[in-house]
A = this chain, B = another copy of it.
Amino acid sequence: MIPPAPPADRGIALRETVVDSDVRALSEMVLATGFFSPEEVGVAVELVEDRLGRGPTSDYAFLIAERDGRLAGYTCYGRTRGTLASFDLYWIVVAPDEQRHGLGRLLLEETERRIRERGGLRIYVETSSRSLYEPTRQFYLTNGYVQEAFLADYYSPGDGKLIYCRVLGL
């Protein structure tokens, strides 16, 4: 369903198939970023395992970036159940030594392209209002996402949830 793989950008290769060794590699990378709690890392692992177990029938699709066979970043996304054409971007993670070189943007654009090809019209992404995530919020705003909601104290007192949305062009 997906056309030929996009040209690797500056030595980056992308793949959609998840393999057993991703479970450990992805969880180690998620942890290494310092942006996620142990419970969140556990969720990340569960989503990889769900995809491994169910294959394409899983609600969770992956786009994995590698450089020289080594994990550099990934996204996890999927159509939102109960909606006509909305997708959730559940995770977008870039390895610490790969950050600030445009890989996040490449992963985001390639994920959006796949969502558009699957008929998606809206992409939702959530993040925390804590100052740690200010670069994350700027990343979404810079890439065409608009803040649609703020849920105060959602994660914990003083730590609210922001919901961003990007409407995909036809």
Contact = CB atoms under 8 A, between A and B. Distances in A.
A21 interface: no
Interface string A37-55: 1011001000000000000
A63 to B, nearest CB: 22
B148 A163 contact: no
Q: What is the total number of copies of this protein in its complex?
A: 2
B156 A39 contact: no
Nearest to A160: B148
A82 interface: yes
A165 interface: yes
Q: Which of A122, A153, A165 has the most C-beta atoms of chain B within 10 angstroms of its own C-beta?
A: A153
A156 to B, nearest CB: 4
Contact of A82 (B37, B86, B148, B149): B37
A81 interface: yes
A148 B148 CA distance: 11
A147 to B, nearest CB: 10
Contacts of A151: 124, 148-149, 163, 165
A12 B165 CA distance: 43
A121 B155 CA distance: 11
Contact of A149 (B40, B83, B148): B148
Contacts of A81: 39-40, 43
A106 interface: no
Interface in A64-92: 81-86
